[in-house]
A and B are shown apart, each in its own frame.
Chain A
Amino acid sequence: MSAKAASTRDGIGGVLLLVLAAGYYWLSRSIPASSLSDEVGADGLPIMLAVLLAVVASLIVAKSLLVRSRAVPVVEASVATDMEEAEDHAPILRALGFVVIGIGYMAVAPIVGFAVGIALLVIAVGLYEREALSFKLVAVAAGGGFGFWLIFVLFLGTEQPMSTLLALLTKG
């Protein structure tokens, strides 16, 4: 990554931290006072942290602006940087897709149950990672779901999502 692209990222990161500091400060101010509280209060440390983060974030932004202003203005370099920045978005979107699969598991597992949920998760990740839908993928996922259920529910006795669908069917 070029120094300019890196400093742009740092600058954006710094601004995001400033926004976080401002939001956290605003929320800290609304923490209710308590008669049981000490001199510092429940909001004492949060306010201090918000101010410190704002200072550090401002320094990060200032540093990134300084680096950007010092960057050598070569045309080819800036073209390459623009291309780099455009390419940077693809992995971020891919990563977000992965998170969506996780959210999907949160929604589906309580309905279909742990074993089926895990099998569907493995299939979804496989497909998302460009593995073709095949008997092998489904079989491995099904085996994985059963294996996870065997280990975590039956053997270790840990709590895992129960199928509301199965509960409804057995009631009916």
Chain B
Amino acid sequence: MKATKIIKRWDLAVALFALIFSIFLPGALQGAAIPSVENVVAGKEPIPTIEDLTGGKVKIGDLVDKNNVELVKEYLTVAMYELVKRGMVLRMGTQLPPEQLNPPSFGAATVRNRGKAVLIGNAPYYEKEGNIWPGGIPFPVAKNGLEAMCNYHYGRAWDSYHTAPIDLWYVNAKGENYKTIGQEHIYVKCSGRTVLPPFGTIPGYDNVYLKRISVATYPREITGLGQFTVRYYDPGKDYDTGFVYLPAFKRTIRTSATTWQDNIVGSDITYGDGDGFQDPFNGWNFKLTGRKFMLVNEPKSPTPIFDEKGQLSKTVQFDQGKKYPRLGWVIAPVDVVEGIPKIKHIYGKKVVYVMMWPYVFTGSGIHATDIYDRQMKLWKGYLQMFGRHEYLNGDRKMPQTPLSGALTYDLQTGHSTLMWMHHMPNVKLDPDKDVNLGILLKKGR
């Protein structure tokens, strides 16, 4: 009897201890149920939802604002956390299966070429130097920061894109959109092509990775102000070639690589900030500081982001004037890469959040970038926006997730730039016909 009483008291103590433990240390129990990033990207376990990660405290459909942001803080970028505290509201969205995020030929290339990438200089090659990477994510599980950044740059799930219209909103600290600039972008990837023929490398473009045109379409004063840029395969061997067309003078002049550090028509975005990170890699040291689950912008919004003309839909809500679009956010596995510039730079550091394979969106492989000034103080947050899931040419065997825009917020001044982009990836474009100096001339006045 005495032994039974002791056993009962011990059971009660254990149960009580477990109850106290589960209340005050929820992660301890949850930790056992949460899959690792490695297992998720290997396909061994399903990706957790925010509900799984927060133990049910935050569910899909819930709103996260400054009052409950601590519940999801570890899944936000540093800048995002600050923005929520300042008034941004996040809706918890629904992730899609990874095979719905990018064209299957891109995924097939990743699988087919897995393990064959070697990093030489700043670029991946297929088994040995000289063999240009044929396409797909080169390092599905990156071992270092440069490999993770190569996954983003050389593992783009588009072979070309045309983005129009683009509306660049200038939003002041009061949340007023006081100025808008229109743009159009045309990009053609010349190697690593997996969706549009010619696959692999376009003949004649062995050392060229990208050709791009970016041109202002309004207001009238800058209509036609455009850039033509060639990014070579290994930026350590060949630096960018750039030209700018000045419509006020009807002249095309050569530009220098410093342009990457300058802002785009006075906005909060520099040319190097675009898409999360556009600076040539050879000017940076990268370090993989970790990988984790993070809240990234959802691949498919329940309401349209754009209308049939590619203009922002009136259904998109905002908080604090036009500062913060209220969008959906989902859990994805992310490599966290710290970049420190080797050259004289306006920035002291960038922390780039690179989405891990297979959860790579067609529009971009970067979820967000935290940008620090030279005193290492947090300066800007850059967030990519998606929300559009579609089928290329209506073919349901060709899913893709284009970009919808980017928010760049200057945390030190409260000024922000919202770039709404009607991004059309994998449209048929030719590097000779569609991306040349003559195009700048045509689009200029």
A, B bound: no
